Amino acid sequence: MKQEMNNTHTSIPGKRLSAAAVHITTIYTFVLLLKLVYFDSQIGNNGLEMPYVFATLGSLLILTSISLLLRPKAAIGYMKILNILLTFMVFSNVMFYRYFKDLLSIPLLTQLGSVGDVGNSLFELLHYSDLLLAADFILLPILHKAIKRKAIHEESTRSIRWMAVSICAIGIIMGLSSFSLLIKSQPTILQTFYDRVYVAQNIGLLNYHTADIYAFVQQSLEENGALDFQKKQEMLEFFKTKKQMDDSDRQMFGVGKGKNLIVIQLEAFQQFVMNKSVNGKEITPHLNKLADSGIYFNNYYYETAGGGTSDAEFAANVSMFPMKVGAVYIRKPGNYYYSLPIKLKEAGYSTIAMHGYKPGFWNRSVVYKNIGFDEFYSKSNLEENELLGMGISDKDFFGQAAEKLKAQKQPFHAFLITLSSHFPYDNDKSKYSSFDVGEYKDTLLGNYMEAVHYTDEALGHFIEELQRSGMLDDTVLVIYGDHHGIPKDNEEELAGFLGVESLSSMEWQLLQKVPMIIKVPGADSRIENIVGGSVDLMPTVLNILGIDASNQPSLGRDLLNSQEGLVTLRNGSFVTQDMVYSSNENIGYDIETGEELPIVQYNDKKREAERLLDYSDTMIRFDLVDEIKDYLEKERR
């Protein structure tokens, strides 16, 4: 009997420990959930966001279910390690967010040299509340001992395994649901990660990092392979020939030499609103006036892809095409790009970029530094006097921009990106009350017209301030739209506004023009009918400023000195002066008649468009810009 009691005594502690492991796992899960909820409270959310909690709990259930399949001591050890790792993950992301208003990602970790030194500011970033992240490291060991002493409940191995499988399945369902809801509301966001904070707010920090790692690995696998030597030589010869063709006598070369350069990228501005009125009032009176007094390119198209606004910035500042999948700003932020601001810095310009939203949006805090902007003013270091929609209102933004530029070292290059006319155009209507859209009230098209009218008005105030300060007379002003404003789903609405029953695929493409105006002090106004696009901005501006671009590996053309234009879209479609080619239909259309053209009439242009896209992709993939620049520099000597 005594021996039997001894056997019972020695067997119970193991079973008690198994029960204790289940209890400790539950406590750790709850503690980790609290830490991840604390993270959510630190990244801009005003209250407890249930989508975040739901998604976070799902990912935690998947991770903690693993502990139920381990031996008791291993299970407790696993949860301790998980706690340390997730605490570090939460802390490092909170610190990074407080400094950059962004989250850590694999592409960013590979470019730590570009994000600046956070170490010196670490103590300034700490909050007393951050101590909560470490409190459990003191309290949980005490709970461990208490639970081990009191746990007497037995669980069979089979029941624990079934519990683990069930918990994991529930976690997977919760996680997939959160991903599904995010993709439904923002279809391309997991391809581009244009707003990492928004992703984490909706699917949780753990799911965010999982998606980020998956995207990075997938993209890395796609980019495996070596550069073909023959193709590289072909590219070098292409740029050499292109520069020889560009060396002819140039119109307007140097008419803006030594002047300041202000480039304004208008959010979601399409050309169709220009010179149009609603109820007898112009939609864009200030933009119309600028077009009448400057050089107006009336056949200018956006060439963006999944990167949206960031693609427009990239094409304009670097004269290369966006990537087919994802965004250059996210996928290749650390490449060397011989950009417009870098070129101007070489000519003695100071450079500044301004935007009224978060610095981490589209990875701008990293990319702007890399492409040559000395300073970047964003929502984090501008006054938030008036907020509208996503960020600082355009009127407030332009007002602050004018003051910053007055103090800027001259000559300067300033790049300003507006925000208030951002989709879905349903911002604070009290700001738009001065513009009556009549029958279009409370429609997407009506909201859009109200939004662009508001931005146009803000732009007018900014130009008036430049005029009052005397700066406008010493500044080359460039204004262009970044991408479309009216989505394809609202095609009928737009057709009705334009007075037609429907729009053919060719007509829809022709409507994808955006404003492009260059105002040069002392230069005559004129209309340029040449077809152009986003990649053509940089070489055109450099010509006006009188800056030699012979070593610039640009894929665009100087629209003031080209015999013909070509707009190449990311999907392989293209537009010339006379025709539109739709890659989706594999059909070319005559613009004048709307009739289909035989392929022999445009096959050469099709191959040229494909070559430009291929060269751009190759340059980005293998980081070739610096090498091509050096080659062109040697060829010039």
CA distances from 399 to 142, 394, 517 (A): 58, 8, 21
Q: Is the pLDDT of residue 214 over 50?
A: yes
602 occurs within a structural domain: no
- Quick one: pLDDT at residue 97? 81
Question: Strand pairing of 375-377 and 532-533?
Answer: unpaired
Taking residues 565-571, what's their average pLDDT? 93
C-alpha 129/C-alpha 515 separation (Å) is 49
* 267 and 357 assigned to the same domain: yes
* Mean per-residue pLDDT of the chain: 88
Last residue of a domain, one of 589, 615, 630: 589
Residue whose tokens read 């400094």: 99
309 is catalytic: yes
Instruction: For 190, list phi and psi in degrees, rounded to 5.
Output: -80, -10
Residues 378/358, Cβ–Cβ less than 8 Å: yes
Residues 405/411, Cβ–Cβ less than 8 Å: no
- Quick one: pLDDT at residue 426? 80
C-alpha 71/C-alpha 242 separation (Å) is 69
* 69 and 185 assigned to the same domain: yes
Taking residues 153-170, what's their average pLDDT? 77
C-alpha 520/C-alpha 546 separation (Å) is 13
Higher pLDDT, 153 or 51: 51
278 occurs within a structural domain: yes
Which structural domain, as residue segments, surrounds residue 108?
A: 2-222
Q: Strands of 169-294 (E only): list them.
A: 260-266, 277-278, 281-282
C-alpha 635/C-alpha 629 separation (Å) is 10
* 289 and 429 assigned to the same domain: yes
C-alpha 29/C-alpha 41 separation (Å) is 18
pTM (predicted TM-score): 0.76
Task: Tell me the DSSP string of 69-106.
Answer: GS-HHHHHHHHHHHHHHHHHHHHHHHHHHHHHSS---H
Q: What's the CATH number where 355 sits?
A: 3.40.720.10
**Is residue 12 very low, low, confident or very high in pLDDT (cuts 50, 70, 90)?**
very low
Residues 430/395, Cβ–Cβ less than 8 Å: no
260 occurs within a structural domain: yes
Taking residues 246-254, what's their average pLDDT? 78
Instruction: For 275, list phi and psi in degrees, rounded to 5.
Output: 55, 25
Task: Tell me the DSSP string of 305-338.
Answer: -TTHHHHHHHHHHH--PPPSSS-HHHHSTTS---
Beta bridge partners of 263: 415, 478
Start-to-end CA distance of the chain, whole Å, equals 102
Q: Which two tokens stand for residue 538?
A: 């940089």
* 418 and 534 assigned to the same domain: yes
Q: Strands of 435-506 (E only): list them.
A: 475-481
636 occurs within a structural domain: no
Q: Which of 262, 214, 306 is nearest to 406 (CA)?
A: 262
* 526 and 418 assigned to the same domain: yes
- Quick one: pLDDT at residue 117? 44
Q: How many CB atoms lie within 10 A of CB 218?
A: 12
Q: Which of 200, 305, 255, 281 is nearest to 570 (CA)?
A: 305
Q: Which two tokens stand for residue 7?
A: 């056997």
Last residue of a domain, one of 573, 589, 605: 589
Higher pLDDT, 331 or 467: 467
Q: Which of 259, 233, 195, 279 is nearest to 411 (CA)?
A: 259
Q: In the chain, how many domains are there?
A: 2
* 282 and 209 assigned to the same domain: no
* 544 and 426 assigned to the same domain: yes
* 272 and 188 assigned to the same domain: no
The catalytically annotated residue of 25, 29, 192, 309 is 309
**Is residue 209 very low, low, confident or very high in pLDDT (cuts 50, 70, 90)?**
very high
| Structural element, H or E, at residue 454 | helix 444-469
22 occurs within a structural domain: yes
- Quick one: pLDDT at residue 116? 45
* 17 and 163 assigned to the same domain: yes
Q: Is the pLDDT of residue 84 over 70?
A: yes
- Quick one: pLDDT at residue 518? 98
C-alpha 436/C-alpha 433 separation (Å) is 7
Last residue of a domain, one of 572, 589, 606: 589
Q: Which of 457, 360, 476 is nearest to 413 (CA)?
A: 476
* 182 and 133 assigned to the same domain: yes
Question: Strand pairing of 295-297 and 526-528?
Answer: parallel
pLDDT digits (tens, 9 = 90+) for 224-242: 778 888 999 999 999 988 8
C-alpha 436/C-alpha 434 separation (Å) is 7
C-alpha 76/C-alpha 70 separation (Å) is 9
Q: Dihedral, CA atoms, 624, 628, 629, 635, nearest 10 degrees? A: 170
pLDDT digits (tens, 9 = 90+) for 446-477: 999 999 999 999 999 999 999 999 999 999 99
**Is residue 148 very low, low, confident or very high in pLDDT (cuts 50, 70, 90)?**
low
Q: Which two tokens stand for residue 319?
A: 């004269």
- Quick one: pLDDT at residue 157? 59
Task: Tell me the DSSP string of 276-289.
Answer: -EETTEESSHHHHH
Beta bridge partners of 248: none
Higher pLDDT, 245 or 382: 382
Q: What 3-state DSSP class applies to 297?
A: strand
Residues 462/402, Cβ–Cβ less than 8 Å: yes
Taking residues 135-159, what's their average pLDDT? 69
Q: Which of 119, 100, 97, 108 is nearest to 40 (CA)?
A: 97
Residues 531/567, Cβ–Cβ less than 8 Å: yes
CA distances from 291 to 275, 479, 533 (A): 10, 10, 17
326 occurs within a structural domain: yes
- Quick one: pLDDT at residue 35? 94
- Quick one: pLDDT at residue 152? 45
243 occurs within a structural domain: no
* 258 and 122 assigned to the same domain: no
**Is residue 244 very low, low, confident or very high in pLDDT (cuts 50, 70, 90)?**
low
The DSSP code for 126 is -
Taking residues 517-527, what's their average pLDDT? 96
Percentage of the residues of the chain whose pLDDT score is greater than 90:
65
Residues 406/251, Cβ–Cβ less than 8 Å: no
206 occurs within a structural domain: yes
Q: What 3-state DSSP class applies to 479?
A: strand
Q: Which of 463, 460, 440, 459 is nearest to 450 (CA)?
A: 440
At position 186, the amino acid (one-letter code) is Q
* 156 and 278 assigned to the same domain: no
C-alpha 534/C-alpha 512 separation (Å) is 12
**Is residue 247 very low, low, confident or very high in pLDDT (cuts 50, 70, 90)?**
low
At position 504, the amino acid (one-letter code) is S
